[in-house]
Structure 1
Amino acid sequence: MQVLVYGAGQLAQMMYLEGCPMGIEVQAVDVKNEQVVHPVTKQPMNISLGQAIANADALTVEFEHVPEHLLEQASRSGKLYPSIDAVLIGADRVREKRLLTRVGVANCPHRVVTQIDQLDSCIEELGERLILKASRDGYDGYGQWRLTQSSELSALKTTLQGLDLESVPLVVEKMLDFDREVSIIGVRDKQGQIRVYPLAENLHHKGQLHVSVAPALNITDALQKQAETIFTILAEGMGYIGVLAVELFQCGEQLLVNEIAPRVHNSGHWTLSGSDVSQFNNHLRAVTGLPLGQSDSLKVSAMVNIIGCSAFSSDLLSIPGCHLYWYGKTVREKRKMGHINVTADNFAELGDKLRALSEYLPLEHFPKLEDEAKRLKSLSPA
């Protein structure tokens, strides 16, 4: 079988590596020049995009910001999973909010802004503590602005003055005092079968994910069930096929949807080491019509992103249960260069291993690692 992935980054690379043992050949599309490339070497392949589409059993995406004309071409083949509508929802916060409203899933109180003067009414309706998000092309903290008090509004309006809000509206959200950020990763196949992974707890720094721990600590059965229900409503509401990630705010015993991602997701990388069948493997199974694999966690896991650096000791691999995934990119500030998965039998042991890991890393690039190691280490073994 053959799968063509739109996007030629690390997610396509990991799909390729997971597909090989199943006999699934994965090719990638560099969407900037529309060339078909090898997902690992990035070398152009001797095939046109049209030929690759014709040869593929399934087409999919590694990120949601694929040019629409390419998505339309892929959709016409009848082999694009998830659908073009699902991908476009993930690429546009306005469409995303409309979906959440339509299917009745709780999310942050918000307003859509197409003119700067509408920000005054946003303060009246939502309060003076607001997060403003570009409806398209924003990720990892980019395309976002914060308002913490109304006296800052005039300066913020000046900052936003050059934006074309008619073309790319802002989604203005009430800034919530949530307890923590968690995410649910699940998969739905062509027959409507669903598998859902345990909730992961996500630690961010300057809008970018740095550490995920799975299963998340102190998750009740009711909270996990609530997350699974949200996933099911969204997946079935979109007729979704493939892996879907749902980022959530936990506010007491309620989960509110922050964002959805119609693809394999950074907060699900722990599944490569901590689950019997990874999110990448299950995504390929879903889009090609193979039976879905189990999604239970085998051990407790932490995923640590390597961001903006390449200088660290490879001796970290001496830590039992430590796995390095390197993406082969040129170093750039805030760029995800790779990730490290660490597994353990319990959270206290995981804390010990993360503390050991910190000795091999330049900690200025890993601002969440030491505190998380201490928190986990303080827990009694279950």
Structure 2
Amino acid sequence: MKVLIFGAGQLARMMYLAGAPLGIDVQAVDVSNEDVVNPVTKDKLPLSLAEALDAADAISVEFEHIPEALLEQARLTGKLLPGKEAILTGADRVREKRLLERLAIPNCAHRIVDNVEQLDQAVDALGDKLILKASRDGYDGYGQWRLAEREDLPALKQTLAALDLKKVPLVVEQMQQFERELSLVGMRSKDGQLKFYPLAENLHHQGQLHVSLAPAPDCSDALTGQAQDIFSRLAEGLDYVGVLAVEFFQVGDQLLVNEIAPRVHNSGHWSMQGADTCQFENHLRAVCGLPLGDTQARGANVMINVIGYDGLDLELLKVPGSHLHWYGKSVRVKRKMAHINLSAGNYKQLGEAMLALADYLPASHFPHVLGEGKRLQAR
């Protein structure tokens, strides 16, 4: 079988590696120039985009921000999974908010703003502690602004005045006080079967995911059920096929959807060692019409992102349960270079392993490892 992935980054690479044992040939499209490439070597393959689309048994994406003309080309083949509407929704916060409202799914109180003068009304409605997000092309902390008090509004309006808000509106959200951030990675098959990995607890730094812990500690059956119900409504509402990630804020016993990602997701990377079938293989199984694999977690697992740093001491592999996944990129500030998966029998053992790993990871680039290791060791 052949699967064509729009996007040629690390997620396409990991799908290629997951597909090889199944005999699934994964090719990737560099959407910047429409070259068809090998997802691991990045070597250009001797076929055109039209030929690759024709030869593929299934077409999918590794990220949401695909030029719409390319998505339409893929849609016309009848092979694009998930569908175009799901991908566009994940790429546009306004579409996403409208979907959540249509499905009556709880999310942060918000306003859509396409003119800076509307910000006064947004403050009147939501209060003066706000986060403003570009509706498109903003992620990992980019395309976001914060308002801490109304006195700062004139300066913020001056900053935003240079933007074309008619073209890219802002989603202005009430700053939410929450206990923690969680995510649910699951999948839906072509025949509508749903499977879920356990909820993961996510720790961020400067707007980027740094650590994911799975299963998330202290998740009641009711909380898990709430997350799975929201996922199910989204997947059904989008007629979704493939892996979908839903990010939540936990506020007491309630989950508020922060955003959705119509693809394999960073907070599911732990599944490469921590589950019988990883998210990359399960995505390929779903879009190819194969049976979905087991999603139960083996013990306790953590994923640690390596961001903007290439000085890893490979002696860290001495730590039992540690696995390094390197992406083969040149270093750049805030660029995801690799991730480390760490698995153990329980949270206490995982915390001890994280403390051992912290000896090899400078706190300046890995700000959560030591503290999270201590927290888990004390459980």
Partner Cα distance (1:124, 1:294) in 2: 49
**Structure 2: stretches of 5+ with no match in the other structure:** none
2:365 matched residue in structure 1: 365
8 Å contact from structure 1 (residues 130, 146) kept in 2: yes
2:113 matched residue in structure 1: 113
1:363, distance to aligned residue in structure 2 (A):
2.0
1:49 matched residue in structure 2: 49
Q: Does 1:159 align with 2:159?
A: yes
2:281 matched residue in structure 1: 281
Partner Cα distance (2:11, 2:244) in 1: 14
2:188 matched residue in structure 1: 188
**Residue aligned with 1:94, SS:** helix
1:333 matched residue in structure 2: 333
Partner Cα distance (1:353, 1:334) in 2: 26
Read off the aligned partner of 2:272 and give its amino acid letter.
Answer: L
Q: What TM-score, normalized by structure 2, do the two folds share?
A: 1.00
1:96 matched residue in structure 2: 96
Partner Cα distance (2:53, 2:319) in 1: 43
8 Å contact from structure 1 (residues 312, 362) kept in 2: no
1:84, distance to aligned residue in structure 2 (A):
0.3
1:291, distance to aligned residue in structure 2 (A):
0.5
1:255 matched residue in structure 2: 255
8 Å contact from structure 1 (residues 243, 264) kept in 2: yes
1:4, distance to aligned residue in structure 2 (A):
0.2
Q: How does 1:319-358 map to 2 (within 5 A)?
A: 319-358=319-358
1:222, distance to aligned residue in structure 2 (A):
0.6
1:81, distance to aligned residue in structure 2 (A):
0.2
Read off the aligned partner of 1:39 and give its amino acid letter.
Answer: P
2:149 matched residue in structure 1: 149
Partner Cα distance (1:277, 1:312) in 2: 28
Read off the aligned partner of 1:341 and give its amino acid letter.
Answer: N
8 Å contact from structure 1 (residues 311, 362) kept in 2: no
CA RMSD of aligned residues (A): 0.5
**Structure 1: stretches of 5+ with no match in the other structure:** none
Q: Does 1:69 align with 2:65?
A: no
Q: What TM-score, normalized by structure 1, do the two folds share?
A: 0.99
8 Å contact from structure 1 (residues 18, 280) kept in 2: yes
1:208 matched residue in structure 2: 208
Partner Cα distance (1:38, 1:335) in 2: 21
* CA offsets 1:57-81 (integer angstroms, 9 cap, x no match): 0000000000000000000000000
1:312, distance to aligned residue in structure 2 (A):
1.5
Partner Cα distance (1:362, 1:314) in 2: 13
Partner Cα distance (1:125, 1:135) in 2: 20
* CA offsets 1:82-105 (integer angstroms, 9 cap, x no match): 000000000000000000001111
1:23 matched residue in structure 2: 23
8 Å contact from structure 1 (residues 179, 250) kept in 2: yes
Partner Cα distance (1:176, 1:48) in 2: 47
Partner Cα distance (1:84, 1:253) in 2: 34
1:9, distance to aligned residue in structure 2 (A):
0.2
2:35 matched residue in structure 1: 35
Partner Cα distance (1:226, 1:12) in 2: 31
Q: Does 1:242 align with 2:238?
A: no
1:290, distance to aligned residue in structure 2 (A):
0.3
1:15, distance to aligned residue in structure 2 (A):
0.1
Q: Does 1:129 align with 2:121?
A: no
8 Å contact from structure 1 (residues 183, 267) kept in 2: yes
**Residue aligned with 2:364, SS:** helix
Read off the aligned partner of 1:336 and give its amino acid letter.
Answer: K
Partner Cα distance (1:88, 1:220) in 2: 33
Read off the aligned partner of 2:367 and give its amino acid letter.
Answer: P
Partner Cα distance (2:11, 2:299) in 1: 23
**Residue aligned with 2:75, SS:** helix
Partner Cα distance (2:210, 2:79) in 1: 34
* CA offsets 1:35-58 (integer angstroms, 9 cap, x no match): 000000001001111111110000
Partner Cα distance (1:32, 1:368) in 2: 34
1:361, distance to aligned residue in structure 2 (A):
1.6
Q: How does 1:306-317 map to 2 (within 5 A)?
A: 306-317=306-317
* CA offsets 1:265-312 (integer angstroms, 9 cap, x no match): 000000101011111010000000000111111121000000000102
**Residue aligned with 2:315, SS:** helix
8 Å contact from structure 1 (residues 245, 263) kept in 2: yes
1:181, distance to aligned residue in structure 2 (A):
0.3
Aligned residue-pair number: 379
Partner Cα distance (1:157, 1:125) in 2: 17
**Residue aligned with 1:364, SS:** coil
Read off the aligned partner of 2:155 and give its amino acid letter.
Answer: A
* CA offsets 1:100-125 (integer angstroms, 9 cap, x no match): 00111100000000100100011110
**Residue aligned with 1:365, SS:** coil
Read off the aligned partner of 1:257 and give its amino acid letter.
Answer: V
**Residue aligned with 1:363, SS:** coil
Read off the aligned partner of 2:249 and give its amino acid letter.
Answer: F
8 Å contact from structure 1 (residues 215, 297) kept in 2: yes
Partner Cα distance (1:132, 1:25) in 2: 41
